[in-house]
Amino acid sequence: MKIISVVGARPNFMKVAPIHKAFIQLGVRNDSKAQQVEELENKNLHGEKHAQINTQPLTINHLICHTGQHYDEKMSKIFFEELELPQPHFYLGVGSGSHAEQTAKVMIEFEKVLINELPDLVIVVGDVNSTIACSLTAVKLGIKVAHVEAGLRSFDRKMPEEINRILTDSIADYLFVTEKSGITNLLNEGISKDKIFFVGNVMIDSLVKFMPIIQTSNIRSIYELDKGDYCVVTLHRPSNVDNYENLKRLIDLINNVSKIKKVIFPIHPRTKNNLERFNLFYSLNHNTIISEPLGYNDFVSLIKDSVLVLTDSGGIQEETTYLGVPCITLRNTTERPVTIEVGTNYLVGDNLDLAYELAEKVLNGDYKKGQVPELWDGKASERIVKTLMEKLTIYNL
């Protein structure tokens, strides 16, 4: 049996790494067809005439395909090293482009991989363009698809990620959900409950696993930041950073917050390009440290020891909730309501006066403490792999 997991953009790597690990713990292989054929030929040379490819449960292969949607050292390569992901078995090298170009290029290249490898299952994670592109390619070839982080909905169809989520969920065969809102959303969209599995959050699996290494990061000393005495900002949503007025208002907010507390702002390539294009790069004041995108361990270490995070990311709302760090989400909607209802997250929309008021309160120690959501316990990947093995064994053996 052969399974291909897809990674494309930065937030995918920490989701696929624990799934890969869970497969490895089952004793599966992770070599490609070419390697198997070579091994088989060697065996035949040595008289093992009846050896076959993929006949036993023990010969389940878990392979990784990197679409290359993100390709920079800092947006991609460093995550493979830190998260102990093997080198991708397939690299599609699609790079940037318009949504149609990027999605189409992934589909064309991924179809070649699928036709050559004929996997039994494709696993996609999250909501990026690579997620929908690979799901669509696989189902059209009759290959089953599992979607990890299914069911999240912002109900804002202007977000490209929302379209990617809805479409992927509508064609996937196995839908693995991180929080209960996901079950409700999928049922409301008419998806059969037999396909839905509430398993917890694979991103938290990575956080739990790498915490001992995260704790050894020296990122704070590099930037001369004291524990509990600085804020972290991240911004990359097109709705926030592609428009001059919106980006300018956010820069003003960061400048105001940084007058109370030091700010560190690891900057996403999209945001950097736009700050330069709009001539806003140098309007950030000296109390804000700008850094390049950080690796996984350094970034999680930075948010863990911060007093407040301001972000428009999806995943960081979850990581701060798990870590108990207050988070102000600079968006109108969140597809992760559990982080607000149970966790430490506040949603402020485009009301940046409210964002500033909340930041002041948090910096004065007045904030909700939050709890860790159900099943965010570091074992989601094990549950996913166990479920898949049960389901696929029934169909294939």
Q: If binding is defined by CB under 6 A, does position 215 make contact with ligand UD1?
A: no
Q: Which x/- pattern over 151-180 shows residues binding ligand UD1 (rule: CB under 6 A)?
A: ---------xx-------------------
Q: Which of 70, 105, 144, 147 touches ligand UD1 by CB under 6 A?
A: 70
At 133 the three-state DSSP class reads: helix
Is residue 128 at the binding interface for ligand UD1, with CB under 6 A as the rule?
Answer: yes
Does 75 engage in binding with ligand UD1 (CB under 6 A)? Answer: yes
Stretch of 5-13, 169-177, 193-201, 207-215 contacting ligand UD1, by CB under 6 A: 5-13
9 forms part of the interface with ligand UD1 (CB under 6 A): yes
Residues of this chain, 229-258, that bind ligand UD1 according to CB under 6 A: 236
Please report, as residue ranges, which positions from 271 to 290 form the binding site for ligand UD1 (by CB under 6 A).
Answer: 273
Q: In terms of CB distance, is 7 or 63 closer to ligand UD1? A: 7
Ramachandran region, residue 43 (left: φ > 0; alpha: ψ -120 to 50; beta: rest): alpha
Name 90's bridge partners: 65
- Helices 244-260 and 269-277 sit at what angle, rounded to 10 degrees? 100
Does residue number 96 form part of the binding site for ligand UD1 (CB under 6 A)?
A: yes
Quote the tokens at residue 50: 């009846």
68 binds ligand UD1 (CB under 6 A): no
Number of residues that bind ligand UD1 (CB under 6 A): 20
CA atoms within 13 A on the CB side of 160: 15
For the record, the structure tokens of 205 come out as 């699996």
Q: Output the CA angle 364-370-371, nearest 5 degrees.
A: 150
Which positions ≥6 away from 381 have C-beta within 8 Å?
18, 19, 21, 22, 202, 205
**287 burial type by CB count under 10 A (0-12 exposed, 13-18 middle, 19+ buried):** middle
- Supply the Cα-derived Rg of the chain in whole angstroms: 22
SS3 259: helix
For position 33 contacting ligand UD1 by CB under 6 A, the verdict is no
Q: Catalytic site residue 236? A: yes
**Which of these is catalytic: 20, 70, 236, 268?**
236
Determine if 11 is a binding residue for ligand UD1 (CB under 6 A). yes
Member of 33, 180, 249, 270 binding ligand UD1 (CB under 6 A): 270
Distance, CA of 111 to CA of 132 (rounded, Å): 13
Active site residues: 236
Q: Given the rule CB under 6 A, which residues bind ligand UD1? A: 9-11, 69-72, 75-76, 96, 127-129, 160-161, 236, 268-270, 273
